[in-house]
Amino acid sequence: MGSIPFLPPSASSVSGEVDAFYFFMVAVTAFFSLLVFGLVVFMAVKYRRKSDQDRPKAILGSVPLEIIWTAIPFLIGMVMFGWSAKIFFTIVTPPEDAIEMYATGKQWMWKIQHRNGKREINELHIPVGQAIKLKMTSEDVIHSFFVPAFRTKMDVLPGRYTTTWFRPTKVGKYHLFCTEYCGTKHSGMIGWVYVMQPEDYQKWLQGDSGEGTLAQRGEKLFNELGCANCHRTDGKGRGPSLVGVAGEMVELERGGKVLADEEYLRESILNPQAKLVAGYQGIMPVFQGLVSEDQLLQLIEYLKSIGKTQKAPAAKPATPASRTAAAAAIAQGKGL
């Protein structure tokens, strides 16, 4: 208990502007609420019924007034619409320099994987000042990744990847909440985000990650699961070589092309027949239910590490609505 707080900590590059917009909204709300409250109270008293015989004159209406109080709410609404849409696109468009991390939601915990192989549960350590892009998926139901101090939130869905990003601006420890109701211990699916000085973060990252980077673990899995037997790097296997595939357009057996982004790679592991590469037969076994979401991310990370090395200029995040936007930074190879 103690004094009542009114604002959550403000600790990301967008939180200041979200707060500014919020103050604007509060001001508009306060103005109109007080105006209406004031008018109602004033007229309730001033024009109160003095006698049961009162028969006030009718005032039927006024076209100018109707136009005024149609136009004003509409125009104010459009200011809110424009400003908030601008903020929204900032919040959902990761900057070029963002480094990637992975989050998996699961009843009822958050699992985080850093690219160097470091893993953590219900905690996320990140360096201050650095844009972080989280690629997220769920192993079961829908969750939602919410850090109030960053003013950002994104639903985490089973069966696909969603992305959120933030650039922390203040060192500290902040709440991480799940905000999509996910069952019994929904309110226990919480954790902490630790924003650290870059040097401290590097130190933390180097400590205790014995099993190798994510890509190395993916490579190990790639061999263990027998992928390498067919997907030979010399291109002579029963499956296509996967060198240089991630982030590239691939031709499909049924015609057309598709961008080999995370979404496509994931689908092709779990359900290989869905979008078969041109010139190959659908002989690969279905891996649905055999690999966990965490392992999938490792495999994809490995494929990205042997994927396209040059960033395609066409795949800029200029098409934010499509999931392909995420592919933009895939081949950047921003190792840590």
Partner 1 sequence: MSTVSSTIPEAKPNYLTSDFSIKSWLLTTDHKRIGILYLISISLMFLLGGILAGLIRLELLTPNGDVFQPENYNKIFTMHGVVMIFFFLIPSIPATLGNFLIPLMIGARDLAFPRINLLSWYIYLVGGILTLSAMALGGVDTGWTFYTPYSSTYSNTYVMLTALGVFVSGFSSILTGLNFIVTIHRMRAPGLTWFRLPLFVWAHYATSLIMILATPVVAVTILLVALERGLRIGFFDPALGGDPVLFQHLFWFYSHPAVYIMILPGMGVQSELIAAMSRKKIFGYEVVAISSVAIAVIGFLVWGHHMFVASQSWYAGLVFSFLSFLVAVPSAIKVFNWTATLFRGSNAFLTPMLYAYGFIGLFTVGGLTGLFLSSMGLDVHMHDTYFVVAHFHYVMVGGAIMAFLGGLHFWWPKMTGRMYYEPLARLSAVLVFIGFNLTFFPQFILGYLGMPRRYHAYPEEFQVLNVLSTAGATVLAIGYLFPATYLIYSLFKGEKAPANPWNAKGLEWEQAPSPPPTFNFDHTPEVHEPAYAYAPEKEKEVVHA
Tokens 């958050």 belong to residue: 110
Q: Which amino acid is at 287?
A: F
Residue 54 burial by Cβ neighbours in a 10 Å radius (0-12, 13-18, 19+): exposed
Measure the CA–CA gap between 293 and 290, rounded to whole angstroms. 10
Of 3 and 236, CB closest to partner 1: 3
Among 157, 228, 250, 276, binds partner 1 (CB under 8 A): 157
Please, what is the end-to-end C-alpha distance for the chain in angstroms?
A: 42
Q: Is 151 in the site for partner 1 (CB under 8 A)?
A: yes
The window from 83-91, 250-258, 291-299, 310-318 that contacts partner 1 (CB under 8 A) reads 83-91
Q: Which amino acid is at 153?
A: K
Q: Is 290 in the site for partner 1 (CB under 8 A)?
A: no
Q: Is 43 in the site for partner 1 (CB under 8 A)?
A: yes
Measure the CA–CA gap between 201 and 126, rounded to whole angstroms. 7
Conformational region of residue 4, where left means phi above 0, alpha means psi within -120 to 50, and beta covers everything else: beta
The window from 121-129, 147-155, 198-206, 216-224 that contacts partner 1 (CB under 8 A) reads 147-155
| Burial readout 135-167 (b: 16 or more C-beta within 10 A, e: otherwise) | bbbbbebebbbbbbbbbbebbbbeeebbbbbbb
The window from 49-57, 203-211, 223-231, 294-302 that contacts partner 1 (CB under 8 A) reads 49-57
Q: Is 22 in the site for partner 1 (CB under 8 A)?
A: yes
- 63-82: which residues touch partner 1 (CB under 8 A)? 63-66, 68-70, 73-74, 77-78, 80-81
Q: Which H helix or E strand runs over 67?
A: helix 63-92
Q: Closest Cα to residue 164, out of 142, 132, 129, 206?
A: 132
- 230-289: which residues touch partner 1 (CB under 8 A)? 288
Query: Least distance from C-beta 1 to partner 1, angstroms?
Result: 6
Query: Least distance from C-beta 209 to partner 1, angstroms?
Result: 30
Q: Is 318 in the site for partner 1 (CB under 8 A)?
A: no
Site string for partner 1, 164-193 (x = CB under 8 A): -----------x-xxxxxxxxxxxx-x---
Site string for partner 1, 107-146 (x = CB under 8 A): x--------------------------------xxx-x-x
Of 61 and 207, CB closest to partner 1: 61
Measure the CA–CA gap between 287 and 271, rounded to whole angstroms. 7
Among 27, 40, 249, 278, binds partner 1 (CB under 8 A): 40
Do 99 and 134 touch, CB atoms closer than 8 A?
A: no
The window from 39-47, 239-247, 279-287, 310-318 that contacts partner 1 (CB under 8 A) reads 39-47
